Amino acid sequence: MICVDNFLTGTRHNVERLSGNPLFSLIEQDVIDPLQIDGPVDEIYNLACAASPPLYQADPVHTMMTCVVGTRNLLTLAEAKGARFLLASTSEVYGDPEQHPQTEEYRGNVNCTGPRACYDEGKRAAETLSFDMLRHGRADARVARIFNTYGPRMLENDGRIVSNLICQALRGQDLTIYGTGTQTRSFCYVSDLIKGLVALMAVTPNPGQPVNLGNPVEITILDLADQVLRKTGALSRLVHLPLPQDDPPRRRPDIMRAYTLLGWQPEVGLDDGLSATINYFKQALVSP
Ligand SMILES: NC(=O)c1ccc[n+]([C@@H]2O[C@H](COP(=O)([O-])OP(=O)(O)OC[C@H]3O[C@@H](n4cnc5c(N)ncnc54)[C@H](O)[C@@H]3O)[C@@H](O)[C@H]2O)c1
């Protein structure tokens, strides 16, 4: 297995335990630069991209280029090697959705000039590139539209809601709620998501269409904060800050396509997933 990462938002620490494995090698590189890989490649998972709004907005041009030029480079590599290719796309392609829950047929409601556009439109363009390469017989490309996913090894401070709330609670700090907290999200545990990605890469024939992967159980951010407080035993207060621009009020995947094509559905409930994530951060905050 070859891991390519520029460590923009990932950490070396997360792959350190693999460094002694002879089947694992690490290339520190930006996917915007053309990749030179010797030998055969069977499958390419294109996961490269900052994924939390503060981090992908920090250098929006780089985010857009990662999605577009990075995906083009990895598709070109897939073409040269005859490898299968999977794009980690996102529910953000639906923007501020007028349809609920979101099926893959829904074409979305993205503000193409707003601060989230570098990511949303970047991923939409990456999907276009993937399906063009597929249609022209140049790459066996598959596209997963991932909805909010969480779990151990997230960064503690990248602005994503689950890690934010857990770390604030564990530190005894106030919990930050953006807006009223009545906006909803559907949270998928990382092990479920990975099973879905692997199943989508493996399925034959190529579905030829994007596949939503996420957990359809929808909760409000206030409910999530309550669960974090209950599970950590923290006495933190909730502090409300203004909602960021273009923050979608509702998000829930329709996963019928994933279920029909892949036999996939999430197995880890929020209760268990939050416990595992809280346990991870308890350790990580003590010995980073
Ligand atoms: N976690 C989610 O909720 C979620 C939802 C939708 C889509 N996704 C997508 O899934 C993928 C993985 O997300 P994640 O949550 O694991 O985020 P992450 O930040 O943990 O992982 C992204 C990885 O890509 C690397 N990277 C970023 N830009 C790069 C570049 N130009 N060249 C090389 N490496 C680069 C980062 O260093 C990091 O290791 C991303 O593409 C993201 O857009 C994630």
Q: Tell me the whole-structure pTM to 2 decimals.
A: 0.97
Ligand 1 touching residue 7 (CB < 6 A): yes
Check if the beta carbon of residue 146 is closer than 8 Å to that of residue 213. yes
Q: What is the pLDDT at residue 157?
A: 85
Of 119, 150, 178, 259, the active-site residue reads 119
Residue 3 lies in a domain: no
Of ligand 1's atoms, which has the minimum distance to the CA of residue 119?
43
Is 186 within a domain?
yes
pLDDT score of 183: 93
Asked whether residue 10 is assigned to any structural domain, the reply reads: no
Most ligand 1 atoms within 8 A of CB, residue of 2, 47, 163, 212 to mutate: 47
Cα-Cα-Cα-Cα torsion 102, 103, 109, 113, nearest 10 degrees, comes to 100
Is 18 within a domain?
A: no
Residue 119 annotated among the catalytic residues of the structure: yes
Q: Note whether residue 11 is domain-resident.
A: no
Average of per-residue pLDDT values in the chain:
96
Q: Is 60 in the pocket of ligand 1 (CB under 6 A)?
A: no
Q: Phi/psi at 221 (nearest 5 deg)?
A: -65, -35
The helix/strand/coil state of 89 is strand
| Element housing 13 (H / E) | none
Count CB neighbours of 4 within 10 A. 21
pLDDT digits (tens, 9 = 90+) for 230-253: 999 999 999 999 998 888 888 899
Answer whether 129 contacts ligand 1 (Cβ < 6 A). no
Domain assignment present for 2: no
The per-residue pLDDT for 246 is 81
Instruction: Give pLDDT < 70 ranges for the chain.
Output: 287-288
Query: Encoding tokens for residue 115?
Result: 């601060």
Give yes or no for residue 14 CB within 6 A of ligand 1.
no
| Domain range enclosing 115 | 31-282
Task: DSSP for 114-182, please give it.
Answer: STTHHHHHHHHHHHHHHHHHHHTTS-EEEEEEE--EE-TT--TTS--HHHHHHHHHHTTPPEEEETTS-
Sign of CA dihedral 254, 257, 260, 266: negative
Residue 83 lies in a domain: yes
Q: Is residue 67 part of a domain?
A: yes
- Cis, peptide link before residue 205, omega less than 30° from 0: yes
Structure-token pair, residue 203: 């399925």
Q: How many domains does the chain have?
A: 1
CATH number of the domain within which 234 lies:
3.40.50.720
Q: Whose CA is nearest to atom 24 of ligand 1?
A: 48
